[in-house]
Amino acid sequence: MLINNKSIAIVGGGPGGLTLARLLQLKGADVKVFERDLNKNARIQGAPLDLHDNSGLAAIRKADLLEEFKQNYLVGADRELIMNENAEIFFSDHEDKPEEDFGHQHFRPEIDRGTLRKILLESLQPETVVWDSHFVSMEKQNEGWLLHFKNKTTTYADIVIACDGANSKIRPYITNIKAFYTGITMLEGNILQAKENAPKVNALLKGGKIMVFGNEKNLLMGQKGNGDIGFYASLKTNENWAVNSGLNYSDKVQMLNWFKSTYPEWNSIWFELFENAETPFIPRPIYCIPFDQTWEAQSNVTMIGDAAHVMPPFAGEGVNMAMLDALELSECLTSDQHKTLQEAISTYEIQMRKRAALIAKESLDNGELMHAENALENMLNFFNAPHE
């Protein structure tokens, strides 16, 4: 095996990085995950994730974690409502959605991010994750890399794998190609104990998801397993809006007034979200990789997930692509079919780039449909169309 006697540093402890660590450890690899969080409880995890049969779930099965996943996924959380700005329901699958069916290609079970992270963390060997390790830089040393972290520690690794997200600090060591702004920014909010703090919206959700379309803008929301609600106000605006808006994202009154003025004629039921959200709200400009990105593979560094192919979230593929990257990279690194590590990494990167470009184009197109003047009609046609 090419990685015998090789130390592997995975930088970033999200779903992709932890999945990769699990898959490599199952093959006997020497792996450490360097995560900037202080500990496993340092951050509130975001909205639930839906895993797809041929990507996220395929990686879960290969990691021998399907039973743990089945015991922890959110039954019914994949049920959807599509509404207009007046809170009128135009599509619902709450009554006629098929029963949960693992193995069916269109079944996309949801799981809380924190729960998925816990499952993956507990599957790893003790002390695999090195917490409080905020990557700063690295330099070539011998056949590998010397990594430097913000807490002044250093470590050597024969192979470095970037799993550090859309703003990856390792990506520039691989390519200077940068993602482009899509024209869409999403404003993220979270409501704790939504049954008490946002009862009207909570009653509409019924444990599932809601997509609201009107005036070329969206509200997207979903229920978490603990009863909280995560939501996003999504709109077309300039790239620097978040910095130049003049908004205080910690001021609920100001943010509610912003919503009222930016989403005019929207039903007052949606005010409940902004009145009761935790602060600060988080603006998220949406970026996408160039579809034709390419670079020359190296023998000792590569990347997966958003570090490799950040894309809009409008196809629900982000975490699934990261976990499929982890699966495919682990197989390339542990296969006997490749003569060198550079060949193994090159094989992975070529197929990853091709796959990611197709999904990124789909996500970008979906984003345009969802922010068009006839967005509601577009999405109703999509959900009502028979899917092969």
**30 labelled ligand-binding:** no
Nearest to 321 by CA among 11, 23, 35, 49: 49
Name the nearest CA neighbour of 313 among 111, 50, 91: 50
In angstroms, the CA 121 to CA 130 distance is 12
User: Would the CA dihedral through 123, 127, 130, 131 be positive or negative?
Assistant: positive
50 is in an annotated binding site: yes
CA 174 to chain centre: 22
Token pair 């997207």 is found at: 220
Which amino acid is located at 355 in the chain?
R
State the CB neighbour count (10 A cutoff) for residue 377: 13
Specify the residue for token string 């009554």: 95
- Ligand-binding annotation for 306, yes or no, is yes
First CA to last CA distance, the chain: 39
What distance in Å separates the CA atoms of residue 41 and residue 94, rounded to the nearest whole number? 33
> Which tokens go with 376?
């509601």
* Known binding-site residue numbers for NADPH: 43
Annotated binding site for FAD: 50, 113, 306
- Residue numbers in the known binding site are 43, 50, 113, 306
